[in-house]
C-alpha cells in the first residue's frame, strides 16, 4: 500500500483549492469526496459575489471550472466515497478509512468536509420531510410552480434561496425570529424588489401541518406568544449549517461545542501535528466561497511545508 503525502477529505471549494496547491507542489495526494464536487455551494443556484465573475455565474459552472483548474495542475486522484474513521491520527503515518471498506495511509490530512443543513427541530418537520419540507430550493423549487411557500431564516442563504424560488412560486412568507436580518442588504433588496415576499418577523414556526403533504404552518410571534395558522404548499428551511465532523469526535482533534474544528487561522493547522482544516467545518465568523478557497490554499501550503520539514 502506497503512502500518500496528503489526503483531502471533502471536495467543496476549500478541498478543490487545496488539491490545486498540492498538485502545484508536486505532491502525491488524494481527495476523497462523499457525493460530488462543490459541497454546499451546489445547493444554491447562482454565485454573484465571487471575485472575477462580475456577472452572476451558476454554481454548477463555477464548480466545474474549479475542478477543471484543480485537475489541470494536478495528477492527484479524486475518489468518491465517505470517510467514516481516522486511525493513528497522532502518528507520522495516519490511516483514513471509508464506508467502502478502503484504508488509505497518509502523512498529512486536510479536513474540508463542509457542513449540512441544520434542522428547525419543530413539530412536523421530520414527518413532512420530502413531503413539503425542503432544505434546498435549487433541488425542489420547480415542484412549487404557482404555489405558496414559507422560507425560514434571515441569513444570506435564506435570501439567496428565496430569490431563486421567486422564479416559480406566487408568494413567499419569509419567517424570521428577529426584526433584523443577517443577510447582506443587497440580498434583502433583490428579494423585496420581486414583490413576491411577505416578511413575518419576530416569529418562529411552531408546527408544520398537513395530511399526506404540507398544507399549512402554525406561526408563533415570539413577542406576544400569539399563534396563527397560514395555509401554504411547502416550507424551505435555511437556518444555518452543522459541520460534517461527526467522525472526528474520538480522534483528539479540538472541536467547539458546535462541532466546528479549531484551527490556527494563519496556518489552518489543528491541535494535532500534520492535520489541517479549511472551509465550513472550521470555527470562524464568516462562511463564504471566497474565504473557503483561501483557507484551502493556506492549508495545502502549510501541509507542504510540514512535509518538507519531515
- In the set 81, 136, 202, 206, the catalytic residue is 136
Q: Can you point out the beta strands (E) in the chain?
A: 3-9, 29-33, 46-47, 57-58, 77-80, 83-87, 94-98, 103-111, 115-117, 133-134, 148-152, 171-175, 197-200, 203-210, 214-221, 227-231, 234-237, 241-243, 275-277
**What Cα–Cα distance (Å) separates residue 156 from each residue in 161, 275, 286?**
8, 31, 11
278 carries an active-site annotation: no
CB 19 within 8 A of CB 120: no
Can you tell me whether residue 185 is helix, strand or coil? Answer: helix
202 carries an active-site annotation: no
- In the set 100, 126, 139, 193, the catalytic residue is 139
**Residue 185 is placed in which grid cell?**
442588504
Q: How long is the chain?
A: 310
82: burial class by Cβ within 10 Å (0-12, 13-18, 19+)? Answer: middle
- In the set 140, 160, 233, 280, the catalytic residue is 140
- The set of residues, in sequence order, having a beta carbon less than 8 Å from that of 286 and lying 6+ positions away, is none
Q: How many CB atoms lie within 10 A of CB 129?
A: 14
139 carries an active-site annotation: yes
**Cα torsion for 8, 12, 17, 23, to the nearest 10°?**
50
Catalytic residues: 136, 139-140
Amino acid at each position: 500500500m502506497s503512502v500518500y503525502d496528503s489526503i483531502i477529505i471533502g471536495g467543496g471549494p476549500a478541498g478543490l483549492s487545496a488539491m490545486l496547491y498540492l498538485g502545484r507542489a508536486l505532491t502525491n495526494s488524494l481527495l476523497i469526496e462523499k457525493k460530488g464536487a462543490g459541497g454546499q455551494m451546489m445547493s444554491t443556484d447562482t454565485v454573484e459575489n465571487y471575485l472575477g465573475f462580475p456577472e452572476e455565474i451558476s454554481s454548477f459552472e463555477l464548480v466545474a471550472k474549479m475542478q477543471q483548474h484543480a485537475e489541470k495542475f494536478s495528477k492527484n486522484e479524486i475518489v468518491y466515497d465517505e470517510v467514516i474513521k481516522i486511525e493513528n491520527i497522532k502518528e507520522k503515518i495516519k490511516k483514513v478509512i471509508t464506508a467502502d471498506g478502503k484504508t488509505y495511509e497518509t502523512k498529512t490530512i486536510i479536513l474540508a468536509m463542509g457542513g449540512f443543513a441544520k434542522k428547525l427541530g419543530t413539530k412536523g418537520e421530520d414527518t413532512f420531510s420530502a413531503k413539503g419540507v425542503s432544505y434546498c430550493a435549487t433541488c425542489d423549487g420547480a415542484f412549487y410552480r404557482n404555489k405558496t411557500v414559507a422560507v425560514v431564516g434571515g441569513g444570506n442563504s435564506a435570501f439567496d434561496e428565496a430569490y431563486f424560488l421567486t422564479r416559480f412560486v406566487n408568494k413567499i412568507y419569509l419567517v424570521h425570529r428577529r426584526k433584523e436580518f443577517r443577510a447582506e442588504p443587497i440580498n434583502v433588496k433583490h428579494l423585496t424588489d420581486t414583490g413576491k415576499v411577505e416578511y413575518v418577523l419576530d416569529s418562529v414556526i411552531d408546527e408544520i401541518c398537513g395530511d399526506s403533504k404540507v398544507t399549512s404552518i402554525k406561526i408563533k410571534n415570539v413577542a406576544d406568544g400569539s399563534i396563527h395558522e397560514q395555509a401554504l404548499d411547502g416550507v424551505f428551511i435555511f437556518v444555518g449549517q452543522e459541520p460534517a465532523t461527526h467522525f472526528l469526535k474520538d480522534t483528539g482533534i479540538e472541536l467547539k461545542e458546535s462541532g466546528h474544528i479549531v484551527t490556527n487561522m494563519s496556518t489552518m493547522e489543528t491541535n494535532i501535528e500534520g492535520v489541517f482544516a479549511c472551509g465550513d467545518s472550521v470555527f470562524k465568523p464568516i462562511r463564504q466561497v471566497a474565504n473557503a478557497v483561501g483557507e484551502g490554499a493556506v492549508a495545502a501550503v502549510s501541509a507542504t511545508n510540514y512535509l518538507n520539514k519531515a
